[in-house]
């Protein structure tokens, strides 16, 4: 009788400890946006490239901006909130196989980069941060 009672107690304890209710996984709260420093770096051997990049306008709204760069390197720097797409692309004005390189730095750390020597393709760096 003692063995039967002991076996019953062991079985009940095994079932109660192994049949716990599953906890539902809930998604984490989204990370709150923070102000970051964004720096687009453009380098080119030709010294004559068309550049397109996303940056805040005078109202603080992100928009595509374009310029022709007539030097071998340039930097576009601004502060903005995280959680957005950042993008820069550049290509030689005249078809050329000279290297064009673009980079995105976030808070002084390289985030994305791209380069090209193809006269018909721009160098592109973009990503959400």
- 7-66 per-position pLDDT tens digit: 555 555 555 555 555 556 556 666 788 999 999 999 999 999 999 999 999 999 999 999
Are 77 and 39 spatial neighbours (Cβ–Cβ below 8 Å)?
yes
pLDDT score, position 25: 58
- What token pair was written down for 58? 């005078």
Which residue ranges form the domains of the chain, and what is each CATH number? 35-128 (2.60.40)
- Read off the pTM: 0.75
The size of the chain, in residues, is 129
Burial class of residue 52 (count of CB atoms within 10 Å of its CB; 0-12, 13-18, 19+): middle
- What token pair was written down for 12? 């009940």
């Amino acid at each position: 009788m003692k063995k039967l009672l002991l076996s019953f107690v062991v079985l009940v304890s095994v079932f109660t400890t192994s049949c716990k209710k599953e906890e539902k996984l809930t998604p984490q709260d989204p990370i709150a946006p923070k102000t970051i420093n964004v720096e687009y770096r453009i380098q080119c051997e030709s010294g004559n490239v068309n550049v397109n990049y996303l940056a805040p306008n005078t109202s603080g709204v992100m928009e595509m901006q374009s310029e022709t760069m007539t030097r071998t390197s340039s930097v576009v720097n601004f502060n903005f909130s995280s959680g957005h797409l950042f993008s820069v692309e550049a290509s030689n004005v005249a078809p050329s196989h000279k290297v064009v390189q673009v980079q995105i730095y976030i808070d002084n750390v390289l985030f994305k980069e791209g380069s090209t020597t193809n006269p018909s393709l721009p160098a592109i760096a973009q990503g959400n941060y």
